[in-house]
Structure 1
Amino acid sequence: MRASRLLSLLLLLQTRGRLTASEIAEELEVSVRTVYRDVEALSAAGVPVYADRGPLGGYRLLDGYRTRLNGLTAAEASSLFLAGLPGPAAELGLADLAAAAELKLLAALPPEPRSQAARMRERFHFDVPGWYRSADDAPFLMDIAEAVWEDRVVRFRYRRWGPAEVERMVHPYGLILKGGSWYLAAACAGSVRTYRVGRIMSAEVLDKRFERPEGFDLVEFWRQFAADFASRMYTAQAVIRLVPDRRELLAYTLGADVTEKALADAVTEADGWLRLTIPIESVRHATWQLLRLGGSVEVLEPPELRALMADTVSQLTRMYGVTGPGAASGS
């Protein structure tokens, strides 16, 4: 434990230059007295550590001194792809490894690339979840990650859409982070399926191991799954009329990609409204989406969607007692 701390202290001084005892103590999460003892130990081992006195003082290494003790452990190297995502790294239990790997990398870099790495960290930040939503609560994520890493079979209870719960025995192949939610790609009953980790109700990592299929490409699997999911999601089409200045609101409601494709083939009618065809998941889902546009949209087809829109508006009218444009409470 102390050897690891001494190495971290040495790498800190090499990476950041002059540091006070208090700054070192805060970084290493130890007491200032421990820092004093560790500096003495480094000095006794022949490391040229110097103390500058005064208000701007602190500990520093002799100019030009560089240690070559910066090799990455296998576990630290495995965490590097998450070095820019501290949140996901912490969720997988790799936060300390990622931090240690980053420190060693910075220590190994010459001054100019090191300063560029520091500037990169100051100027770019990844915030994974989308707006107006938080990341999934996935209490069994670390268990699943362990099983993925060690090729071990997992048994879990899973909550599907709706109230139904099922039990599954799977071979976990990989984890994917999408929009703040973790997804598990796993073999079950002869095919590779996806499971939202936040919907796993309980999990047991078994001692039994499985043989990971040679050549399985997690990135390609997810790309194909995402494309198939999009094609399955949109089961029908609707023809609508839209007020021209509501393009952005339509994009916010349906998604930018869907709206952009629909607008590319839109026709401008005599009254200036746009006539376009949009993909929909279902009549009920489309009703919920299009009602958000209020009077800026008119559904033309299919008839079931137009009828459901009209029925919903009638219910709202009865609920709020609105009888006309000038109606108001108390008038």
Structure 2
Amino acid sequence: MQINRLFEIVYILLDKKIITAKELAERFEVSVRTIYRDIDVLSQAGIPIYMSKGKGGGISLLDNFVLNKSLLSDTEQNEILAALQGLNAVHYPEVDNVIAKLGLLFNKEDYNWIDVDFSHWGETNRNKFNLIKTAIINKRVISFDYSSSYGLSSSRKVEPVQLWFKDKTWYLKSYCLSKEDFRIFKLTRMKEVRVTDNSFQKRPDMEISFDARRDENFRTVNFKLHLDKSVAYRVYDEFNENCIRQNHDGSFEVTASYPESDWVYGYILSFGNAAKVIEPEYVRNIIIDRLEQTLKQYAHQL
């Protein structure tokens, strides 16, 4: 594509300072006339590029030229580099090379100021993530085994649309071929992911369907907890500071809103005897019932 070639020409000139049209033509496997047309396009875009004749002549940029003088503000440059640094977290192909090139173009030495990593401590789902990413880019159907929040297993074939990061968790937005409807899947529950040879086209009304599906899948429950000071480390790690109130005895009252599912009840129970549900009452009753059911499993040992 011409835009890629234009970018590469500017990068080469910043790196090598001067080069001939013939050398550029050989590098990009195009004609010298095409290179001259590219130079005209760059000039019209405001890039201070010029050609000199004679021995040692060729195509070059004005001394001390950097891209920010013609196209982007300093703030825009920093935002672009920060966004690309974020792409490192999802292992986007060749992003390191792009960052290095733009760092040179923008004349930035300290562009590597952020390091983002969404993978779990001690493990990685990189292969699964990359398979899905490749399938989305190439519009290929994927198949996988899925375990629901209720422990039910099923085999799925879907048209992957978008990877979605929400509240420390990766999801896949897709069109499920077996259910003939849009679905959202949690990546950690997807096993044996395979990219098939079947291609697909983007479906109409996709965004509207996903908004409706998201509202359906993520109905939330608002609750208030009393938490003992012994779990202070979790309080500060897992709740928004605006939702935390510390009592005189060091304990906490927190308010939160989470998707209403078995997960949220298991989450509350994960605090053990350090947590007490203040409200709503029906959530407190569900927790009490689960504790009673757990106690029954050990009744014969008491």
Q: TM (normalized to structure 1)?
A: 0.48
What corresponds to 2:207 in structure 1?
216
What corresponds to 1:152 in structure 2?
140
What corresponds to 1:88 in structure 2?
89
Q: Which of 182, 186, 189 is the matching residue for 1:196? A: 186
Q: How far off its partner does 1:172 sit?
A: 1.4
What corresponds to 2:97 in structure 1?
100
Q: How far off its partner does 1:185 sit?
A: 0.8
What corresponds to 1:289 in structure 2?
270
Amino acid at match of 1:151: K
What corresponds to 1:256 in structure 2?
239
Q: Secondary structure at the match of 2:141?
A: strand
What corresponds to 2:117 in structure 1?
127
Q: How far off its partner does 1:104 sit?
A: 2.9
Residue 129 of structure 1 contacts residue 180 of structure 1 at CA under 8 Å; is this kept in 2?
no
Deviations 1:117-169 (A, max 9, x none): x3232x33223347xx4564253333322221122333333344476432222
Identity of aligned residues (%): 15
Residue 85 of structure 2 contacts residue 99 of structure 2 at CA under 8 Å; is this kept in 1?
no
Q: How far off its partner does 1:286 sit?
A: 5.9
Q: How far off its partner does 1:289 sit?
A: 2.9
Extract unaligned runs of 5+ from structure 2: 1-6, 18-54, 68-79
User: Within 1, Cα distance between the matches of 2:145 and 2:272?
Assistant: 37
**RMSD (Å), alpha carbons:** 5.5
Deviations 1:87-115 (A, max 9, x none): 4343x5x0x2x123223323433xxxx23
Residue 138 of structure 1 contacts residue 197 of structure 1 at CA under 8 Å; is this kept in 2?
no
Amino acid at match of 1:120: Y
Q: Secondary structure at the match of 2:174?
A: strand
User: Within 2, Cα distance between the matches of 1:134 and 1:250?
Assistant: 20
Residue 155 of structure 1 contacts residue 168 of structure 1 at CA under 8 Å; is this kept in 2?
yes
User: Within 1, Cα distance between the matches of 2:253 and 2:118?
Assistant: 36
Residue 155 of structure 1 contacts residue 206 of structure 1 at CA under 8 Å; is this kept in 2?
no
Extract unaligned runs of 5+ from structure 1: 1-6, 18-44, 49-60, 69-78, 322-331
Change (3 A) 1:202 1:313: closer
Deviations 1:164-211 (A, max 9, x none): 432222121112245775422101133321223342313132233223
Change (3 A) 1:249 1:315: farther
Residue 244 of structure 2 contacts residue 253 of structure 2 at CA under 8 Å; is this kept in 1?
no
The number of residue pairs the alignment matches comes to 235
Deviations 1:246-293 (A, max 9, x none): 68456258x314x85475xx9x89x99877877785696266234252
Q: Secondary structure at the match of 1:126?
A: coil
Q: Secondary structure at the match of 1:85?
A: helix
Deviations 1:23-60 (A, max 9, x none): xxxxxxxxxxxxxxxxxxxxxx9589xxxxxxxxxxxx
Change (3 A) 1:312 1:185: closer
User: Within 2, Cα distance between the matches of 1:168 and 1:208?
Assistant: 16
Amino acid at match of 2:269: W
Amino acid at match of 1:285: G
Change (3 A) 1:140 1:237: closer
